[in-house]
Amino acid sequence: MGDSGEGRVEEEGRKTKMAGSLAGRTFIRSFSRSLGGPWNYVGGQRCEPCLALASMKVTEPATGSTLCEVPVSSQEEVDRAVASAKGVFPSWSKLSGRERGQKLMEACRIIRDNLEDISKLEVQDTGKPIWEARVDIASCADALEYYGGVAAAVVGQHVALPGGSFAMVQREPLGVIGGVGAWNFPMQTCVWKVAPALACGNTFVYKPSQFTPVTAVTLGEILTSAGVPDGVFNVVQGEGETGARLCNHPDVAKLSFTGSVPTGTKVMTAGAKGIKSVTLELGGKSPIVIFEDADVKNAIKATLMANFLSQGQVCSNGTRVFVQRSIADEFIQQLVSATQKLKIGDPLAEDTTVGATIHEDHAKKVLSYITSAKEEGASILCGGERVMLPGKLSGGWYLSPAVVVDCKDNMKVVQEEVFGSLASVLVFDSEEEAVRRANDTNFGLAGAVFTKDIQRGHRVANAIEAGTVWINTYNLYPTEVPFGGYKHSGIGRENGLTVIDFFTQSRTVYVEMGDVDCGPLYQE
């Protein structure tokens, strides 16, 4: 009896299911040595750099002990990674969007199947509580799923022209993308760049922060297990010099960076020298404007989310909390009470709400803002101190979340990005005053307004000079909508469909269906 069409479909389905299962098992086998290195990822495998300049001791934030030692990649190693990405670009970019999207969707599945283990790696890397890490890693799966679906829709345009002529506007990938990531959301900031870039047909070389090297390499294992060809995604480790080598490489077509304004300036300078497209997601000093008719409980919850998630180490945090005078006392009292209930503890414990600051130097920098606030006349109602935890956690830097009042707009703690668990509360009287003061900053990453008056909510949201403004919530980032800043908070956008424009370029092909019309230039 001949093989039926239905039988063939069933057999292909069985093979696909088996391949997916094997991909997951391949990832799990390699996962067990994720903290043992090697730490670079080139050509589809973990590897030592071909030439290492030195090694970096990476500290586990929770304990203060050494998590791992990572070799610093030389120019030769950066060249090798870029060559790997460049070599596979022609074949990867020629796949259909649907084919590329299927592999991103498989990577999404692998992350979801291994979410708990990957989340624990992220905790060891960052010191944030495990429940937060789960949210972060789940968002990575969401991004891969979203751009896996979008990939097939990255198409061009047909334009009808007079006389039957027409033009084809083709959307093309850029080539090799160079990415440099941040330490506060190591895997998320990586995936937010890599998922849309790969969906568009680009290849990638990524340098993680020197403080959080772990999960970018894990992502490489995931993508390879999902069937992404060797060389499409590569990781080189190192400090600022390694990032500079990547940004200045002549075969890198575009740069995408998340981090501080000073480093972003250097990345943009490298882009200008090489005439490269640049996307920058930088710092913030975002305002939350809370009107007297706001739901105070929701405003309190949002203020906690806007200041104390990830130990306050979030670029979009709403660290300038403007409260209308008539409810200021009630709001401050409830905010202090809620803040004091936050539990500082082992990041891997389920009931911990405040984990460890990334490292000692940064913790001391955050504490210096507490000192300067006091010196300038502000009052610390709670927190702002190092908390010593017992046992193996005694070497970690745990800071109690601080609520600072009696703040003035010109204080250092109000003007500068603290990047720590510190909320500055300011009082206002009128809507006009609140908007003016909210916009009195060089940053423009985010903002929020809390009110039950929907007209005022829209009015104030439209007046705040920021790339993202929430009404009656805070710090939510669905993959479907763009994220990025105004002013010194950055250039370009991540997420949403908008990002497709930042990872592609267009080619116009004009097709003439008649004779060439050159006017009087040609005489018979």
Contacts of 398 (CB under 8 A, 6+ apart): 344, 354, 355, 356, 357, 386, 387, 388, 389
The residue type of 118 is I
Whether 10 is catalytic is: no
Q: What Å distances lie between residue 421 and 127, 383, 413, CA to CA?
A: 14, 9, 12
Strand order from edge to edge, sheet including 422-428: 379-382, 402-405, 422-428, 320-324, 287-290, 446-450, 468-471
- For 164, the token pair is 């039957």
Helix H or strand E encompassing 468 = strand 468-471
Q: What is the C-alpha separation between 154 and 149, in angstroms, rounded? A: 10
Q: What Å distances lie between residue 25 and 18, 111, 271, CA to CA?
A: 11, 12, 40
C-alpha 92, offset from chain centre: 24
Q: What is the C-alpha separation between 464 and 297, in angstroms, rounded? A: 23
Q: What is the phi-psi region of residue 238: left when phi exceeds 0, alpha when psi lies from -120 to 50, beta otherwise?
A: left
- Summary count for the chain: helices (H), strands (E): 16, 24
Determine which one of 281, 417, 431, 494 is catalytic: 281
End-to-end Cα, the chain, rounded Å = 72
Helix H or strand E encompassing 423 = strand 422-428
C-alpha 169, offset from chain centre: 31
Q: Using an 8 Å Cβ cutoff, are 485 and 444 in contact?
A: yes
Q: Active-site residues: which are they?
A: 281
